[in-house]
Structure 1
């Protein structure tokens, strides 16, 4: 089966813009009351769009202290949890370790490695959407931009300037907050629309089983190996 090609960046730019959340649907809880309200809503969900942000490292001698932000989203809202705040860290730990809530995102291999170290808990029920698209014949790293174009028919724009900004700051900028919210909201929207999209796709081919040697061939090879062992020439006397 030939590998399918998702829309390119240039093709995506011809589509309508991704329907991002309004600012009043993006929460950055800091106070005990704000975090408790976030906890109440988040624990009611069965699936959340998920991503993390870390302060970039520009030199090999720098120590990686990230991730610094965990962002979570439903199709209607997003929450930006800054892990420098103890209560936000506790909430991120509770959500990330919950087996009842699916955490849905793209390219999560690095998060699976770094986040347990940062939070001190194992990740539970993490869904990497790249693997879903791979089953349908796309590459191993479809990514949120291409997935939004495929499933939603929209252009998902990511700012490189914001992606490499300082995510360890105690006060994030409005641009950082919107960027982080989008990175969780995009997967949430794709995941919500995925069943309808998958229903229109050809049935993925089952994985091909590994070839097994024919019994007769395997037996013959075993006999040859056995014969070689027992018919080896005796060592010469010196």
Structure 2
């Protein structure tokens, strides 16, 4: 008998590689900006190379993920990031008209400010927004179980990989894309359930 109530849930399928875009060229950046700017809400997350030594400072984020309902855009921002990709990230995150949603975004926001000087506006941290009287913040796994009745696989092995590598593995790409995309899917479901409940009263 398992003690994990989510263990018997069907797996959450997640996003596919066909719906992920790595933003590398100026043309990629232009296409990403057009898509990201034309939506009302985006899924948002970042990944940073983990630190293992006491007192070691993170040089992250090394990857920024922004997802529309259809596509997740991944921006690699290594040592001294500059150029079109950073301009897109800045334009989107500093926009007051596009809502950005994600889980546990406090550190992501602080690191973006520290590394790129980007101030974020109109951001909703679902970890706090979705709490129903729970004392602790709510994670993506719990949210997926609650809203979709599915189990979100979060591999610790992938989480702690080197996100600063110039070329990421397919597993890293899918993991990162899912982090942003699942937040948007959860948000959409949450809002639709709120609207349905309001209509029923």
1:108 corresponds to which residue? 105
Question: Contact 1:133 / 1:139 at 8 angstroms: preserved in 2?
Answer: no
Normalised by the length of structure 1, the TM-score is: 0.76
Report the aligned-residue RMSD: 2.0
1:122 corresponds to which residue? 119
2:148 corresponds to which residue? 152
Deviations 1:19-40 (A, max 9, x none): 3112110111101111111111
| Unpaired stretches in structure 1, ≥5 consecutive residues | 1-7, 203-238
Cα distance in 1, alignment partners of residues 20 and 27 from structure 2: 16
Question: Contact 1:70 / 1:81 at 8 angstroms: preserved in 2?
Answer: yes
Cα distance in 1, alignment partners of residues 186 and 3 from structure 2: 17
Please, which moves more after superposition, 85-94 or 168-177?
85-94
Cα distance in 1, alignment partners of residues 146 and 186 from structure 2: 9
Please, which moves more after superposition, 93-102 or 77-86?
77-86
Cα distance in 1, alignment partners of residues 15 and 50 from structure 2: 26
Alpha carbons of 1:18 and 1:9: their partners in 2 closer, same or farther (altered >3 Å)?
A: farther
| Unpaired stretches in structure 2, ≥5 consecutive residues | none
Residue 160 (structure 2) aligned to one of 159, 164, 169 = 164
Residue 53 (structure 2) aligned to one of 59, 77, 94 = 59
> Which has the larger Rg?
1
Residues 1:38 and 2:32 aligned together: yes
- How much has 1:45 moved relative to structure 2? 1.3
Normalised by the length of structure 2, the TM-score is: 0.89
Residues 1:21 and 2:15 aligned together: yes
Alpha carbons of 1:10 and 1:200: their partners in 2 closer, same or farther (altered >3 Å)?
A: farther
Question: Contact 1:20 / 1:182 at 8 angstroms: preserved in 2?
Answer: yes
